Amino acid sequence: MPRGKVEEPYRINQRITGVRDVRVVGENVEPGVYSIDQARRLATEQNLDLVEISPKADPPVCRIIDYSKFKYEQKKKQREMKAKTTKVVMKEIRFGPNTDDHDFEFKLKHARQFLGEGAKVKAYVHFVGRTIVFKERGELLLLKFAQALEDVAKVEQLPKLEGKRMFLFLGPKVKK
């Protein structure tokens, strides 16, 4: 590809090749299937472009529109879609199998705050050395944590042991 030349994502006018008939849509046009030459003629009569929107359809779908206006609308749609997507934030809360009540309450308060902000919470119990023998204690701790947060969170994954850590995933409840 020569330098400085940008490949267009859509084929327009004379670049639409290899097809005999196309389905034409657009303003001031009777929607229907036309020959490619007839579709180009309709576009030039209106001083507009024939833009191939759906090349994989049978027959391909083309729209009669001003190409620069079409490109602008496509960029605008992409910006709007990008703005609507939300970034999922994952916050981690670490416990030990012997976490006492005060630490538990402190971490519970932080989890409530994170969930209130719309973040997901990944709570885990980290087993160090020989504490791995207290797996059930860690599982009970995580289940107690999930139960204490059931008014603001929904459990996305129940406690699961992976290596030396037991994980619990919580997501914020959707407000109605």
Domain final position from 81, 110, 130: 81
> Do you know the residue count of the chain?
176
- Whether 28 and 99 share a structural domain: no
Please tell me the total count of domains within the chain: 2
The whole domain housing 111 covers 90-172
Rg of the chain in Å (alpha carbons):
29
Residue 146 belongs to domain with CATH number: 3.30.110.10
User: Has residue 153 been placed in a domain?
Assistant: yes
- Reported as a single tens digit per residue, the pLDDT across 81-135 is 888 776 778 888 998 888 888 998 999 999 999 888 888 899 998 888 888 887 8
* 41-50, 85-94, 159-168: least confidently modelled range: 85-94
3 part of a folded domain: no
Average pLDDT estimate for 25-53: 87
Q: Are residues 107 and 134 located together in one domain of the fold?
A: yes
Residues 97 and 167 in one domain: yes
The dihedral formed by the CA atoms of 146, 150, 155 and 160, expressed in degrees to the nearest 10: 10
Instruction: Determine contact, residues 124/159, Cβ cutoff 8 Å.
Output: no
pLDDT of residue 5: 58
Among 35, 50, 81, the domain boundary falls at 81
Supply the pLDDT for residue 76.
Answer: 92
Q: How far apart are CA 51 and CA 40, in angstroms?
A: 10
Q: List Cβ<8 Å contacts ≥24 apart for 52-57.
A: 52/10, 52/11, 52/12, 52/16, 52/22, 53/10, 53/25, 55/11, 57/23
State yes or no: pLDDT of 1 exceeds 60. Answer: no
With respect to residue 7, please indicate whether it lies within any of the assigned structural domains.
no
Average pLDDT of the segment spanning 142-170: 87
Peptide bond into 59 cis (omega under 30): yes
Strands (E) across the chain are located at 21-26, 32-35, 49-54, 61-65, 90-95, 120-126, 153-162, 165-172
Q: What secondary structure letter does DSSP report for 5?
A: P
Please tell me whether residues 55 and 115 are part of one structural domain: no
Which CATH number does the domain housing residue 73 bear?
Answer: 3.10.20.80
Last residue of a domain, one of 27, 53, 81: 81
